[in-house]
Chains A and B, each alone.
Chain A
Amino acid sequence: MKNNNKFRLDIWGFITLFVILLYVLFLLYPMGYLIRQSVFDGSTGEFTLANFAKFFSKSYYFNTLFNSFKISIAATILSLLIGTPLAYLFAVYKIRGKSFLSILIVVASMSAPFIGAYSWILLLGRSGVITTFFKNMGIALPDIYGFGGIVLVMTLQLFPLVFLYARGALKNIDNSLIEAAGNLGCSGVKCFLKVVVPLIMPTLLAAGLLVFMRSFADFGTPMLIGEGYRTFPVVLYNEFINEVGGNDGFAAAIAVIAIVITTVVFLIQKYVSNRKSFSLNALHPMEEREAKGAVRWMVHIFSYLVIGIAVLPQCYVIYTSFKNTEGKIFVDGYSLSSYATAFGKLGKSIQNTIIIPILALVVIILLAVLIAYLVVRRRNFLTNITDILSMIPYIVPGTVLGIALLVGFNKPPVLISGTMLIMVVALVIRRLPYTIRSSVAILQQIPMSIEEAAISLGATKMKAFFRITVPMMQAGIVSGAILSWVTMISELSTAIILYTGRTKTLTVAIYTEVIRGNYGTAAALSTILTLLTVASLLLFNKLNGGKDLSL
């Protein structure tokens, strides 16, 4: 609305100010505190760059940056190389059991990465099932620990994201473009590389960014499977845990470096994709066709193999959860003893995993809808600020945000460290950008005149919003909420910093059980988490009427 570009202190004006206040308190203040800590000496209070100097002068720390970059880039490239062709095959060929495979891919993408890591250790680790199997045959398999293992786990975890993004973009390519290309003598693989890939390039870049950010910020996987291979988030976590109570300026400095790096990557991606964007709208989307002969076999083998490997860790974890344990070791025979331990010792964490995300979800939905409305319908200087503020968490790694919240709020005036509130706040901040984006997209589809009609019929601004606009957004909001829910229940990197005994979540419990070597209990807890995820996704599919999910 061009005419609303001035700020007015009506009800929406108050909401704008309120939202900005929330962001200042819960995002800017802790982040600012963290930055301040990184450049001021904790004991003398003087300005110093010693922390940064320490990081860049010692290769012990500095190399972790390179390690993280190597892993993120490798994982991003591999994910794109697997996810894109798979999405294309799904778009053009009829594949048996396609809808089942689609669900499996989503499940694979929605599980916590470190569960994959620990499962691969069970399969391919030093005494893993597959390793032992081959060793008995006299074949030594390559080592799973370190760089290769991290990249393997990351790729299998993240290629589904590329797949889902690419699948959505492919739906917008009009079949006539493919036919035109074929008519001009460009078909098959050539058509895919020369026509399809360039058309979905903006989407692939966006997906690539997401993969990069996630693998750069992921903490659980390198911690479990990395062994000597130290990445950035691991160092950050270790330094922070070591220095709690003392001078944590160094951890703060590492956090600041992390933010700078992700910001630069984000800006580069934005710049590149702005230059490569087209608007596509398909009247006749690509049609699936039956593949013939050898192609048919190859398509099926590729699809099933890739997806099979992606869900293998999940399946194996579920299998081991039913195995008998003796102390920490799996023994022959099956029972529910792991579940008994899980519910007995850690039942509280299951409760937390439901209560904390639900509280966060309520806040997220409310805020996302309000902010989306402000951004779309009330464009002015202050709502632009709100928009930018809400995107900051997108580029702040979870571990960093966790640390910022913890150091910012562990003494008065705001003392909420260790409470459930801080866990909720962390989830809200982390997940809000995604929900805002999807709400904005929905709202842009709803013409302004509908709301004006309500107002001209005597409804107040708030009534028009809640009686007309919100119900129209409802379907989109609900499916967005379910996706937020799924990501929140499998969240680890913030929770691991913020949890206390009372606010332990499932993922944290699984992580600590794995670290302690209680694989049986960990497997049982993972299975519960997977069940929760699958149930949520089935609900999503039902509510969304078979439409695709966007993240």
Chain B
Amino acid sequence: MSRIIIKNAVKKYGENTVIPDLSAEIEDGELFTLLGPSGCGKTTLLRMIAGFNSIEGGDFYFNETRINDMDPSKRNIGMVFQNYAIFPNLSVRNNVAFGLKNRKIEKEKIKTETDKYLNLMQIMEYAERMPSQLSGGQQQRIALARALVITPDVLLMDEPLSNLDAKLRMEMRTVIRHTQKSVGITTVYVTHDQEEAMAISDRIAVMKDGVIQHIGKPKDIYQRPKNVFVATFIGRTNMVPARIEKGELIFADGYREQIDALRQAEDQEVICSIRPEEFVICKEGSDGIKGTVKEFVYLGLNTHYYIDTDAGETVEIIEESSLKEELKEGQSVLLKVKKEKINVFNQTGEQNLVRSEAYEKQ
């Protein structure tokens, strides 16, 4: 069991800097996810921890041990690869036992440990088969068993579910989460699928261009994203321009809301991130952003509306479907926001004005 501490990590490919300066601390026993679009450096960072990529600067620690120059085979890590990397020339049992055999453990122990993890991952019945005879999900289980059986200090998973179909992905997601919790192993998980990250993680680091944009619990990242990139990358949202005047938030058509966190804010132009469920549609009244219903999609539980505002933007709104008749296309409406939930960013989109100092200390 280990904490992983990364201080000022730098990664370069020749002249090209992929990770300029990255620091993070991963707590003992937590499932920590690196999430970001492809090319953001998440896999690169994972492979630096694993030892398969060279480290151009900074320090990596497992607890107090600096691992920068430690050979990958000595780091005691379990790794699950995107393509599983099952050894096709070894049987399922020998795949799982491979790491133990390298550790010169006596035969009896190897057998009991291997059996334990074959059972845990429910692949005991395939133990003597060759991997090519197994399905993707079963191969995934071998990969996980093989990584865990060596009781590694750290488990690294590189997009382990991306080669599975949707249904199996949901199933394996649960398997991974339960196994990780029951073994209690520090895990770094890489994915580009934000829903998967939300479902599985204790904490998530959202990355872009080799820089961590936001580290937090799934709830924190969704509800109080630190910048516009995080707000748009995680879940769906509408970016609506507004301005702050005398501590009050003013939208188009003079619609005003008072938000506690913005009382002290300077007067400025801002961008609001309003998620589809954070709008309230009013059919009557005079207060709100004016708009016209462009289109609606009835999806059973929810109904999605697309509304053209008078300012010329289209916003997406989700409401729980009601028994009453839906809004008609072309109908005029007024839009209000759930002011406790929305996020307000400065003009550059780099700072969330709603995240006050008091909030950060929570």
Which residues of A are interface residues toward B (Cβ below 8 A)? 2-3, 5, 447, 449-450, 452-461, 463, 468, 471-472, 474
A to B CB contacts below 8 Å, 7 in the list: A3-B13, A3-B53, A452-B52, A454-B98, A457-B73, A457-B150, A472-B87
Q: Assess whether B85 is in contact with A453, with CB atoms less than 8 Å apart.
A: yes
In the assembled complex, B141 has its CB within 8 A of some CB on chain A: no
Q: Assess whether A456 is in contact with B77, with CB atoms less than 8 Å apart.
A: yes
Q: Assess whether A458 is in contact with B79, with CB atoms less than 8 Å apart.
A: no
A112 CB to nearest B CB, Å: 37
Q: Assess whether B79 is in contact with A456, with CB atoms less than 8 Å apart.
A: yes
A273 CB to nearest B CB, Å: 29
CB-CB under 8 A from B51, the residues of chain A are: 456
CB-CB under 8 A from B52, the residues of chain A are: 3, 452, 455
Q: Do A472 and B73 form a contact, CB below 8 Å, given A449-B81, A452-B81?
A: no
B: contact size bracket: 20 to 34
Those of B74-91 within 8 Å (CB) of chain A: 74-79, 81-83, 85-89
CA distance A415 to B50 in the complex (A): 50
CA distance A463 to B98 in the complex (A): 11
In the assembled complex, B213 has its CB within 8 A of some CB on chain A: no
CB-CB under 8 A from B73, the residues of chain A are: 455-461
Contacts A449-B82, A457-B98, A457-B150 supplied; 18 other A-B pairs, CB < 8 Å: A2-B13, A3-B13, A3-B52, A449-B83, A449-B85, A453-B81, A453-B143, A456-B50, A456-B51, A456-B79, A458-B102, A459-B102, A460-B73, A463-B102, A468-B87, A471-B89, A472-B88, A474-B89
In the assembled complex, B361 has its CB within 8 A of some CB on chain A: no
Q: Assess whether B78 is in contact with A456, with CB atoms less than 8 Å apart.
A: yes
Q: Assess whether A457 is in contact with B102, with CB atoms less than 8 Å apart.
A: yes
In the assembled complex, B36 has its CB within 8 A of some CB on chain A: no
Those of B315-361 within 8 Å (CB) of chain A: none
Q: Assess whether A3 is in contact with B54, with CB atoms less than 8 Å apart.
A: yes
Q: Assess whether A456 is in contact with B72, with CB atoms less than 8 Å apart.
A: yes
Q: Assess whether A458 is in contact with B99, with CB atoms less than 8 Å apart.
A: yes
Those of B90-145 within 8 Å (CB) of chain A: 98-99, 102-103, 143
Q: Is the interface of A mostly helix, strand, loop or mixed?
A: helix
CA distance A463 to B104 in the complex (A): 14
Residue of B nearest to A6 (CB): B54
In the assembled complex, B146 has its CB within 8 A of some CB on chain A: yes
CB-CB under 8 A from A459, the residues of chain B are: 73, 98, 102
CB-CB under 8 A from A455, the residues of chain B are: 52, 72-73
Q: Do A457 and B83 form a contact, CB below 8 Å, given A452-B50, A468-B89?
A: no
Q: Assess whether A453 is in contact with B79, with CB atoms less than 8 Å apart.
A: yes
Pick the 5 closest A-B CB pairs, nearest first.
A457-B99, A458-B102, A453-B85, A449-B85, A449-B81
CB-CB under 8 A from A453, the residues of chain B are: 79, 81, 85, 87, 143, 146
CA distance A115 to B320 in the complex (A): 87
Q: Do A458 and B81 form a contact, CB below 8 Å, given A3-B54, A452-B72, A472-B88?
A: no
CA distance A454 to B143 in the complex (A): 11
Please report the number of residue pairs spanning A and B whose Cβ atoms sit closer than 8 angstroms: 70
Q: Assess whether A458 is in contact with B13, with CB atoms less than 8 Å apart.
A: no
CA distance A458 to B79 in the complex (A): 11
Which residues of B are interface residues toward A (Cβ below 8 A)? 13-14, 50-54, 72-79, 81-83, 85-89, 98-99, 102-103, 143, 146-147, 150, 156
A483 CB to nearest B CB, Å: 23
Q: Assess whether B83 is in contact with A447, with CB atoms less than 8 Å apart.
A: yes
Residue of B nearest to A10 (CB): B71
B84 CB to nearest A CB, Å: 8
CA distance A461 to B74 in the complex (A): 12
Q: Do A458 and B150 form a contact, CB below 8 Å, given A449-B81, A452-B72, A452-B81?
A: yes
CB-CB under 8 A from A449, the residues of chain B are: 81-83, 85
Q: Assess whether B79 is in contact with A450, with CB atoms less than 8 Å apart.
A: no
CB-CB under 8 A from B156, the residues of chain A are: 456
Most buried by B among A453, A460, A472: A453
CA distance A288 to B52 in the complex (A): 47
Most buried by B among A452, A457, A471, A474: A457
Q: Do A450 and B85 form a contact, CB below 8 Å, given A3-B53, A460-B73?
A: yes
Residue of B nearest to A446 (CB): B88
Q: Assess whether B103 is in contact with A458, with CB atoms less than 8 Å apart.
A: yes
CA distance A456 to B75 in the complex (A): 8
CA distance A89 to B137 in the complex (A): 43
Q: Assess whether A447 is in contact with B85, with CB atoms less than 8 Å apart.
A: yes
CA distance A458 to B156 in the complex (A): 15
B54 CB to nearest A CB, Å: 5
B87 CB to nearest A CB, Å: 5
CA distance A468 to B131 in the complex (A): 14
CA distance A234 to B163 in the complex (A): 60
CA distance A230 to B52 in the complex (A): 59
A65 CB to nearest B CB, Å: 46
CB-CB under 8 A from B76, the residues of chain A are: 458
CB-CB under 8 A from B83, the residues of chain A are: 447, 449
B68 CB to nearest A CB, Å: 14
B332 CB to nearest A CB, Å: 53
CA distance A436 to B318 in the complex (A): 61
Which listed residue, A5, A456, A472, touches B89 by the CB 8 Å rule?
A472
CB-CB under 8 A from B72, the residues of chain A are: 452, 455-456
CB-CB under 8 A from A450, the residues of chain B are: 85-87
CB-CB under 8 A from A472, the residues of chain B are: 87-89
CA distance A453 to B157 in the complex (A): 11
CA distance A449 to B85 in the complex (A): 6
B114 CB to nearest A CB, Å: 13
CA distance A3 to B156 in the complex (A): 19
CA distance A162 to B262 in the complex (A): 78
CB-CB under 8 A from B74, the residues of chain A are: 458
CA distance A452 to B87 in the complex (A): 11
CB-CB under 8 A from B75, the residues of chain A are: 456
Residue of B nearest to A457 (CB): B99
CB-CB under 8 A from A452, the residues of chain B are: 50, 52, 72, 79, 81, 85
CA distance A458 to B77 in the complex (A): 9
A3 CB to nearest B CB, Å: 5
Residue of B nearest to A473 (CB): B89
CB-CB under 8 A from A460, the residues of chain B are: 73
CA distance A5 to B86 in the complex (A): 27
CA distance A5 to B15 in the complex (A): 13
B288 CB to nearest A CB, Å: 54
CA distance A516 to B74 in the complex (A): 67
Most buried by A among B53, B81, B156: B81
Residue of A nearest to B55 (CB): A3
A7 CB to nearest B CB, Å: 13
CA distance A322 to B32 in the complex (A): 79
A475 CB to nearest B CB, Å: 10
Residue of B nearest to A456 (CB): B79
Residue of B nearest to A5 (CB): B14
A207 CB to nearest B CB, Å: 32
CA distance A496 to B143 in the complex (A): 55
Residue of B nearest to A474 (CB): B89
CB-CB under 8 A from B102, the residues of chain A are: 457-459, 463
CA distance A513 to B143 in the complex (A): 62
CA distance A2 to B15 in the complex (A): 12
